[in-house]
C-alpha cells in the first residue's frame, strides 16, 4: 500500500491516539509489531498517519494495549474505516490543507462551541463579510484566491443546515459586533444574518459585553469540536499561518475551562439578541 503524502488532521489524530495507547501500555513499537506479526516500520507508519489500519488490526492493538474502553475503541474503528469524501475535497490543491481539515472536523463533530473576540465566527459570516476579511490580508491575495476562500467559507454553513444540523454555540465579544470590516451596509447585513441564524433551535449565540470586570485572562479565540466520545474532542485555535489543532488531554482541559468561564459571564441568548438588534439599529 502506498504511503500517504499528506495525511489529513483526522488521520493524524487517529494515529496519535494509537500511539498514546501504546505508550500507556508501556510497549515499544517493536513489541507492538511483534504482537501483530508486522514490522516495527509498519507500526511507525500507522502511528504517523502515513498508512491506514484495518478494523481487525486496530481491535487487536487495542486489546494488546489493555484498552477496555469499548466506546473509545469503536470510535477509533469508525475513524479508521471512514471513507468519506466530503464537499471540501473539491478544494484540495486549491486551498491550504488546514481549510480542508477544518471542514472535515466540522463535518464529523457531534457539537461545535466557538469563542471569538474580533470577528464573527466563520459559519455565521455573510458573503460580503467573509470577502472583506480575506481581502484585508497583507500581501493581498489574488482575486481568484479570495473568491475560493469565500466560496469555501459559505459552504461551511452546511453544518447548520439540512435535516440533521450540528448543535452550534458561538460566544461573540461585543467588539466583534461593532468592528466594521467593510461598510455600514455590510455590517448591518451581517448583524441581521446573525439575528436570523440565532433563531434556529440548534444554534445558540451569546454576546460577551464590554462591561465585564476581572476578565483579563480569558482572551482565547477557539472552537471546540465534539468527538464521538469526549476523549476525541478537538480544539482549534488561530495560529499565525493556519489553524492549530489541539488534542492533548491537558490542553483540552485548559481550553474547556476557558470556554466554560467565557460562557458563564456571557449574556443569555435573549439578551444577546437584544444587544445585536440595538447595534444593528444604530448603524
User: Which CATH number describes the domain made up of 87-282?
Assistant: 3.30.870
Query: In the sheet that 222-225 helps form, which strands lie side by side, from edge to edge?
Result: 203-208, 168-173, 112-116, 222-225, 234-238, 243-246
φ, ψ of residue 5 to 5 degrees: the values are -80, -35
CATH fold of 9-81 = 434 Repressor (Amino-terminal Domain) (1.10.260)
Where, residue-wise, is CATH 3.30.870 in the chain?
87-282
Q: Which DSSP helix (H) or strand (E) runs through 208?
A: strand 203-208
Q: What is the pLDDT along the chain (283 residues), one digit of tens a residue?
A: 578 888 999 999 999 999 999 999 999 999 999 988 899 999 999 999 999 999 999 999 999 999 999 999 999 999 999 988 899 999 999 999 999 999 999 999 999 999 999 999 999 999 999 999 999 887 899 999 999 999 999 999 999 998 899 999 999 999 999 999 989 999 999 999 999 999 999 999 999 999 888 776 667 899 999 999 999 999 999 765 567 899 999 999 999 999 999 999 999 999 999 999 999 999 8
CATH 1.10.260.40 domain position(s) in the chain: 9-81
Backbone dihedral region for residue 198 (phi beyond 0: left; psi -120 to 50: alpha; all else: beta): alpha
- Please name which of 129, 127, 176, 128 lies closest in space to residue 275, comparing C-alpha atoms: 176
In sequence order, what are the beta bridge partners of 237?
Answer: 222, 244
Judged by DSSP in three states, 14 sits in: helix
Is the whole model's pTM more than 0.85, yes or no? yes
Contact 176, 264 (CB under 8 A): no
Amino acid at each position: 500500500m502506498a504511503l500517504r503524502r499528506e495525511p489529513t488532521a483526522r488521520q493524524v489524530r487517529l494515529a496519535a491516539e494509537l500511539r498514546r495507547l501504546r505508550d500507556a501500555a508501556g510497549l515499544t513499537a517493536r513489541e507492538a509489531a511483534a504482537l501483530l506479526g508486522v514490522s516495527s516500520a509498519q507500526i511507525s507508519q500507522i502511528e504517523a498517519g502515513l498508512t491506514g489500519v484495518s478494523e481487525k488490526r486496530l481491535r487487536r492493538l487495542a486489546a494488546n494495549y489493555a484498552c477496555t474502553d469499548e466506546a473509545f475503541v469503536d470510535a477509533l474503528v469508525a475513524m479508521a474505516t471512514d471513507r468519506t469524501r466530503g464537499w471540501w475535497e473539491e478544494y484540495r490543491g486549491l486551498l491550504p490543507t488546514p481549510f480542508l481539515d477544518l471542514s472535515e472536523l466540522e463535518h464529523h463533530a457531534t457539537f461545535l462551541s466557538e469563542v471569538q473576540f474580533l470577528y464573527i465566527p466563520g459559519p455565521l459570516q455573510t458573503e460580503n463579510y467573509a470577502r472583506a476579511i480575506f481581502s484585508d490580508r497583507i500581501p493581498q491575495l489574488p482575486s481568484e484566491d479570495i473568491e475560493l476562500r469565500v466560496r469555501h467559507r459559505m459552504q461551511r454553513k452546511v453544518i447548520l443546515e439540512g435535516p440533521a444540523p450540528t448543535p452550534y454555540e458561538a460566544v461573540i465579544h461585543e467588539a466583534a459586533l461593532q468592528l466594521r470590516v467593510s461598510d455600514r451596509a455590510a455590517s448591518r447585513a451581517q448583524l441581521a444574518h446573525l439575528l436570523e441564524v440565532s433563531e434556529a433551535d440548534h444554534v445558540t449565540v451569546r454576546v460577551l459585553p464590554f462591561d465585564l470586570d476581572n476578565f483579563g485572562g480569558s482572551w482565547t479565540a477557539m472552537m471546540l469540536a465534539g468527538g464521538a466520545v469526549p476523549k476525541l474532542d478537538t480544539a482549534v485555535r488561530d495560529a499565525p499561518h493556519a489553524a492549530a489543532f489541539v488534542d492533548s488531554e491537558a490542553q483540552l482541559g485548559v481550553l474547556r475551562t476557558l470556554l466554560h468561564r467565557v460562557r458563564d459571564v456571557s449574556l443569555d441568548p435573549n439578551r444577546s439578541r437584544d444587544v445585536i438588534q440595538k447595534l444593528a439599529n444604530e448603524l
